[in-house]
Amino acid sequence: MQIPQLGAGTFRLKGDEAVQSVAMALEAGYRHIDTAQIYGNEQEVGQAVSASGIAREALFITTKVWMDKLSDQQFLPSVKQSLQDLNTDYVDLLLIHWPLADDSVAMGDYLRSLKQAQDQGLTRHIGVSNFTVAQMRQAIEILGEGVLYTNQVEVHPYLQNKAVVEFCRAHDIIVTGYMPFAYGDVLKDDVIVEIAEQHQATPAQVVLAWMAANHFVTIPSSTKRTNIDSNLGYVNVSLSEQDMARIATLDRNHRLANPDFAPQWD
């Protein structure tokens, strides 16, 4: 199963809210669920998936290894704990959540642990998240071409991340864009709103259609059933070349995910 273009993100969702959000997404037709160790909701995601009755092979589940679990001693045990929490024998995609800013664990070491997880059948695909061009180049030197499935990075009309996107495309690495709505900022943009009105669509559908037209996978999160259902309607929005050109002009390096441990961005 290839990664579905639209997935249900679970960042910041806790407890019953996480269970309900994932359950609603699965009921609506989503088959791609994204979580992470640091989100603290893998058990809730697993609970919703198990209760859905959907066959495991019909789902694409992603999780991510956090920075404090990258050592040789902790990496694979942490992945096995994630699988236990998710109530599954494997994930479809396992990511390094953030590259380390220091050399407390060498990239070669934690990427080899990532590949080991794949070789042991704990995950079908492996990838990275929040890696710069230089870091992706280093990762390819370590693992070889064709091993990294995706780089999950912040992408939306206000942050189009062109250098990273171009590098990924040149190396057949899928770009997974998180926070596609920039916490709602782009949904209020005059250009997005105007295009939405022209297409009788919502601003969110226009953004998701733009993501799809650019061949980005994306993982918005929502706790509202109306939004979860409505987002799926992006497939009915066909943006013109003029629409795409107008959205391209919105790029303004508006980065929201920039913690103190972030790399030097491209």
Provide the percentage of residues in the chain whose pLDDT is more than 90: 99
Does 1 have pLDDT greater than 90?
Answer: no
Structure-block tokens of residue 188: 């209020």
Give the mean pLDDT of 95-117: 97
Does 175 have pLDDT greater than 90?
Answer: yes
d(CA 1, CA 178): 21
Give the pLDDT score at 156: 98
pLDDT digits (tens, 9 = 90+) for 136-163: 999 999 999 999 999 999 999 999 999 9
d(CA 177, CA 160): 9
Give the pLDDT score at 2: 95
Question: In Å, what is the CA distance from 206 to each residue of 25, 185, 197?
Answer: 19, 14, 10
pLDDT digits (tens, 9 = 90+) for 193-247: 999 999 999 999 999 999 999 999 999 999 999 999 999 999 999 999 999 999 9
Angle at 225 between CA 224 and CA 231, to 5 degrees: 95
d(CA 45, CA 67): 21
- pLDDT confidence band for 103 (50 / 70 / 90): confident
3-state secondary structure of 92: strand
Phi/psi at 198 (5° precision): -65, -35
What is the separation, in whole angstroms, between the first and last Cα of the chain? Answer: 32
3-state secondary structure of 88: coil
DSSP label at 3?
A: P
Instruction: List the CATH code of the domain at 8-184+212-222.
Output: 3.20.20.100
pLDDT digits (tens, 9 = 90+) for 68-87: 999 999 999 999 999 999 99
Q: Could you tell me the residue ranges of all domains in the chain? A: 8-184+212-222
d(CA 192, CA 196): 6
d(CA 181, CA 163): 20
> Catalytic one among 39, 149, 158, 178?
39
Element (H, E) at 82: helix 75-86
Give the pLDDT score at 260: 96
pLDDT digits (tens, 9 = 90+) for 30-58: 999 999 999 999 999 999 999 999 999 99
Question: In Å, what is the CA distance from 31 to each residue of 61, 104, 114, 156, 228?
Answer: 8, 37, 24, 22, 13
Catalytic-residue membership of 149? no
